[in-house]
């Protein structure tokens, strides 16, 4: 083997290394046997599939697809489906593990899963995306289902993707099975409040974190990385709470207005042009400079691994609320902790999505729709409970919020595992 390649491979840390390091930290706090630790560090089931696509011009492309189910101790597996060229098996494994902890932390009866197809959705027509989704669904069909594994939207997928999955699955069963996915269109049994649930939860804990640091919303400023399903409404909810949202970014660039962006007007601009760039109510900013802006609250809501040991020393926000999964690398996390930056970890901050996905699954299985106010109220309750549990655990054990959240979650998964016993 080429020595330079192997050296690089050992030096490059990815999300799975971070997820495993976080698990190891949690295990160190708890009385966990080596065997159970090894079990929790390993996915229970992994499926890699080829997804052939007949393109609109008649040619055939083939994409890699994955579905990873990390744990089932507390219930069926649950997790998003991502369409992105960055998707690989290790990323999906990390995201599935984080889903297990997230579901346990907010006490929804699921284990963790994640799926992905290594495709750039912006390069494809709606027809091509539908064919890719249906083919991927048919490939992973044996391992999904309302009692087995329930996908939801993530990066590059949306409620339309969920409708195609639901239809493909239902066609194979011969009857409609709405509970096989969450994040569906309302007309197909989606839950009121699901589309903005992750963002609502992000804003909810951001406000709790600000209160814990004596920061009044009306005097606070925020920057949000990513203006997709999570970032856009997180910015909106923060603004509605009185926070001055000074900057947002997307894959194409960033915009800044020290006096505060008009988030709704910016959203209309993005709907028309496809990007935050060129918005007349703000100045352009280097995309990645958003992360080190002089704001009180930073909300990374795009990708993993964006706050690194290189830029963490320059982060000026005193609170980081992880809207995205895994946006802070392990090394960056240590730097932020040393600098007394309060990091609200992903498995707490963005859990609003899976909480309302759970509500949607309950409603789908019962064929009964709740009022939106009911959904939002129950979401707020669960986020607040999880927040207080994490703060209390961190206080008692002298840990960061991430360590506390992971330890609480791991403890619950182990409890379920112990009660069930190891088969056979």
Active site residues: 114
Q: Is 156 in the site for ligand NAD (CB under 6 A)?
A: yes
* DSSP element (H, E) containing 376: helix 372-397
Nearer to ligand NAD, 164 or 414 (CB): 164
CB of 82 to ligand NAD, least distance (A): 7
DSSP summary character for residue 145: B
Q: How many CA atoms lie within 13 A of 317 on its CB side?
A: 32
Q: Which of 24, 211, 251, 264 binds ligand NAD (CB under 6 A)?
A: 251
* DSSP element (H, E) containing 149: strand 149-153
CB of 418 to ligand NAD, least distance (A): 29
Nearer to ligand NAD, 124 or 229 (CB): 229
Give the span between the Cα atoms of 68 and 97, in whole angstroms.
9
Q: Alpha-carbon dihedral of residues 378, 381, 382, 383, nearest 10 degrees?
A: 120
Token code pair at residue 22: 């976080």
Give me the helices (H) in 274-371, please. Answer: 330-338, 346-349, 352-366
| Per-residue binder mask for ligand NAD (CB under 6 A), 193-212, x = binder | -----x--------------
Q: Is 325 in the site for ligand NAD (CB under 6 A)?
A: yes
Q: Is 227 in the site for ligand NAD (CB under 6 A)?
A: yes
Nearer to ligand NAD, 54 or 380 (CB): 380
Q: Is 255 in the site for ligand NAD (CB under 6 A)?
A: no
Give the span between the Cα atoms of 91 and 32, in whole angstroms.
25
Contact between residue 99 and residue 70 where contact means Cβ atoms under 8 Å apart: yes
Q: Is 287 in the site for ligand NAD (CB under 6 A)?
A: yes
Q: Is 230 in the site for ligand NAD (CB under 6 A)?
A: yes
Q: Which of 73, 244, 249, 399 binds ligand NAD (CB under 6 A)?
A: 249
Q: Other CB atoms closer than 10 Å to residue 149's CB: what's the count?
A: 26
CB of 395 to ligand NAD, least distance (A): 26
Token code pair at residue 392: 């209390």
Q: Which of 113, 192, 263, 302 binds ligand NAD (CB under 6 A)?
A: 302
Q: Which of 225, 239, 257, 376 binds ligand NAD (CB under 6 A)?
A: 225
Residues 6+ apart with CB under 8 A from 235: 222, 224, 227, 245, 248, 261, 263, 299
Three-class DSSP category at 76:
coil
Footprint on residues 340-359 left by ligand NAD (CB under 6 A)? 350, 353
Q: Which of 228, 285, 292, 409 binds ligand NAD (CB under 6 A)?
A: 228
Give the span between the Cα atoms of 49 and 63, in whole angstroms.
8
Q: Is 93 in the site for ligand NAD (CB under 6 A)?
A: no
Q: Name the segment binding ligand NAD (CB under 6 A); options: 9-17, 258-266, 318-326, 375-383.
A: 318-326
Q: Is 100 in the site for ligand NAD (CB under 6 A)?
A: no
Q: Which of 128, 149, 154, 403 binds ligand NAD (CB under 6 A)?
A: 154
- Pairing mode, if any, of strands 111-117 and 149-153? unpaired
Give the span between the Cα atoms of 103 and 166, in whole angstroms.
22
Q: Is 54 in the site for ligand NAD (CB under 6 A)?
A: no
Rg (CA), the chain: 21
By CB under 6 A, how many residues form the interface with ligand NAD? 25
CB of 270 to ligand NAD, least distance (A): 8
Q: CA distances (Å), 422 to each of 44, 96, 147, 320, 417, in order?
A: 13, 21, 20, 39, 7
Q: Which residues bind ligand NAD (CB under 6 A)?
A: 80, 153-156, 198, 225-231, 249-251, 287, 301-303, 323-325, 350, 353
């Amino acid at each position: 083997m080429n020595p330079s390649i192997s050296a690089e491979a050992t030096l490059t840390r990815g999300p799975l290394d971070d997820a495993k390091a976080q698990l190891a930290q949690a295990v160190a706090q708890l009385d966990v046997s080596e065997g159970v630790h090894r079990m929790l560090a390993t996915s229970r089931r992994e499926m890699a599939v080829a997804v052939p696509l007949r393109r609109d011009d008649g040619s055939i492309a083939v994409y890699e697809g994955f579905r990873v189910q990390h744990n089932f101790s507390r219930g069926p597996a649950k997790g998003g489906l991502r369409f992105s060229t960055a998707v690989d098996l290790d990323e999906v494994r990390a995201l599935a593990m984080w889903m297990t902890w997230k579901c346990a932390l907010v006490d929804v009866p699921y284990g963790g899963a994640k799926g992905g197809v290594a495709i750039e959705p912006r390069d494809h027509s709606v027809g091509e995306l539908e064919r890719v989704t249906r083919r991927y669904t048919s490939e992973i069909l044996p391992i999904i289902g309302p009692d087995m594994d329930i996908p939801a939207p993530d990066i590059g997928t949306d409620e339309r993707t969920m409708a195609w999955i639901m239809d493909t699955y239902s066609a194979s069963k011969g009857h409609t099975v709405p509970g096989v996915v969450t994040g569906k269109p309302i007309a197909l049994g989606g839950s009121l409040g699901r589309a903005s649930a992750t963002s609502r939860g992000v804003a909810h804990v951001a406000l709790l974190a600000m209160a814990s640091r004596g920061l009044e919303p009306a005097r606070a400023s925020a920057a949000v990385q990513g203006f997709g399903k999570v970032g856009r409404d997180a910015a909106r909810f923060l603004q509605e709470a009185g926070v001055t949202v000074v900057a947002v970014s997307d894959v194409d660039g960033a915009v800044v207005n020290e006096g505060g962006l008009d988030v709704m007007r910016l959203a209309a601009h993005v709907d028309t042009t496809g990007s935050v760039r060129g918005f007349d109510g703000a100045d352009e900013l280097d995309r990645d400079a958003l992360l080190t802006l002089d704001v009180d609250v930073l909300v990374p809501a795009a990708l993993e691994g964006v706050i690194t040991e290189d830029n963490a020393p320059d982060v000026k926000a005193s609170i980081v609320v992880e809207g995205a999964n895994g946006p802070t690398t392990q090394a960056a996390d240590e730097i932020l902790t040393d600098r007394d930056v309060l990091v609200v970890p992903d498995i707490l901050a963005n859990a609003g999505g899976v909480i309302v996905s759970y509500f949607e699954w309950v409603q789908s299985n019962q064929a009964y729709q709740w009022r939106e106010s009911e959904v939002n109220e129950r979401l707020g309750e669960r986020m607040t409970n999880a927040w207080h549990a994490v703060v209390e655990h961190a206080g008692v054990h002298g840990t960061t919020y991430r360590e506390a959240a992971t330890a609480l979650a791991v403890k619950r998964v182990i409890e379920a595992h112990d009660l069930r016993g190891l088969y056979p």
